[in-house]
Chains A and B, each alone.
Chain A
Amino acid sequence: MADNANPIEPIHQFEISNFFTFGTIGGDGTEGSGVEIAFTNSALFMVLTVLVIAGFLILSTRGRGLVPGRMQLLAEMCYEFIANMVRTSAGTEGMRFFPFVFSLFMFILIANLFGMFPYFFTVTSHLIVAVMLALMVFITVVVYGFMRNGFGFFKLFVPSGIPWYVMWLVVPIEFISFLSRPLSHSLRLFGNILAGHIVLKVFGGMVVALLAAGAWAPLAILPFGMAVALTGLEFLVAALQAFVFAVLTCVYLNDAIHPGH
């Protein structure tokens, strides 16, 4: 059904197709039960993303030039950009999470940018990917927070300098807001990328539909212009969402390191 679906249908781009299936883990042997493991188009683009990042960073710094070339300068800029972000938001102690934040930022950025190529699959447009990334951050924050501060981590929910009689209201609010972090953290990325790609595809589809509509064909210029403008916007969103995700990660890590407000 996916194969003969309408080519301009905007949801088709998110379809996951298996290149080869390894098998199913668990389940009762019937179709659909258990967890199916396959190498999919999504997996392919995850692998490509990692290859591009690692290839770029490792090859560009191969010369270890004292005076950097263009590519090395770009790699150094990425490094310093994230290093400064971590240092300013999470302090010097947060620098132990620098490789983690850097990997997150680069992974999301390159995955988003891969999605800007026509016919390429966008890894981050799938809910589960964004959720897993956000959960990874959340679990890191909780585990490190308790490891470092013990029960002092609970101070996170008790803002200092407020009178005791509003505590019963503030503490639950803080707690709920803490628990809802992975939700907002992941849905922001997922929603932005998904919506952007759908809107882009809708306008692209309108161009195709209008071109096929005989006398209406000249009007196709309108959605075409829109699609061009949205493409520019989507490049911005692709970079911005990676940045936002990384900044929020730093902010959350800062809470784990310094739980007192």
Chain B
Amino acid sequence: MAGELSETITLAQAETDLTHEGEGGDAATEADHGAATEQGAATDHGTEAAGHEDAALHEGTEAGGHAAPAVFPPFNPATFGSQILWLALTFGVLYLLMSRFALPRIGEILEVRRDRVEGDLAEADRLRQKTDQAIEAYEQDLADARAKAHGIAESTRDEIRKDLDGQRAKVEADLSKKMAAAEARIQETKTSAMSHVDEIASDTATSLVSQLLGTVPAKSVNSAVSAVIKETQNGN
């Protein structure tokens, strides 16, 4: 009975949807001609058609109260208004929150981090360049020092050599002077020795001749000796 009743109501409502609300009464009148049980149903329907609010309450959703109950909910235009309104509100709020607060903040975080990383890298690069410069300067200094040391050694060596050469020259000059003096003395001695040779030769010849021939004038001996010496000197 109850099932039959609701079925009748549904049918009558379908009819109401097709026609207009005012004509619902006609449907009820038509139903009045039916059997006694159906008449009861029609009366129920009559009250329902008159007070549509009851039907809405009864069916839980107002949308179901008017549109055919079988309408597929995602296509039910009765709900579109609310959905559009709430979508606009919520999406608008979301867009505002995102564009004003959330995204700038995340963007800032990322930028700060990127800047920091870049800054650190630049600092590291700067420090490395500084290190390179220091190493270069050190090597330059080292090379300079080495060159300087070499120069000093060279000049010292030159000085020593010059000194040595000077001294050697002095010593050699001294030596040669001494040698010359010695040679002169030898020459002198020789010359003086040679000048005595005449005398010795005359004496020797005088004594020889006196031994052999007796006494001879010294004058003739001397001239003979000097003649021989002269001859010898000319001969060689």
Contacts and interface: CB of A to CB of B under 8 A. Distances in A.
Main secondary structure of the interface of A (DSSP, over half): helix
B74 A190 contact: yes
B83 to A, nearest CB: 5
A47 B83 contact: no
B161 interface: no
A27 to B, nearest CB: 10
B54 to A, nearest CB: 11
Contacts of B60: 1-3, 17
Interface string B49-66: 000110010011111111
A126 B80 CA distance: 9
Contacts of A213: none
Contacts of B101: 54, 58
Interface residues of B, number: 51
B84 A57 contact: no
B182 to A, nearest CB: 101
A42 interface: yes
Nearest to A59: B102
Interface stretch (A28-36, A146-154, A236-244): A28-36
Interface residues of A, number: 58
B94 A107 contact: yes
A38 interface: yes
A108 to B, nearest CB: 10
Nearest to A44: B86
Interface in A50-84: 50, 53-54, 57-58, 61, 64-66, 68, 72, 75-76, 79-80
A48 B97 CA distance: 14
Contacts of B172: none
Nearest to B103: A99
B106 A128 contact: no
Contacts of A177: none
A103 to B, nearest CB: 5
Given A47-B90, A99-B95, A103-B98, A128 B84 contact: yes
Interface of A: 1-3, 11, 14-18, 21, 25, 30-32, 35-40, 42-43, 46-47, 49-50, 53-54, 57-58, 61, 64-66, 68, 72, 75-76, 79-80, 98-100, 102-103, 106-107, 123, 125-129, 132-133, 136, 190, 194
Interface of B: 21, 52-53, 56, 59-67, 69, 72-76, 78-91, 93-95, 97-99, 101-103, 105-110, 112-113, 116
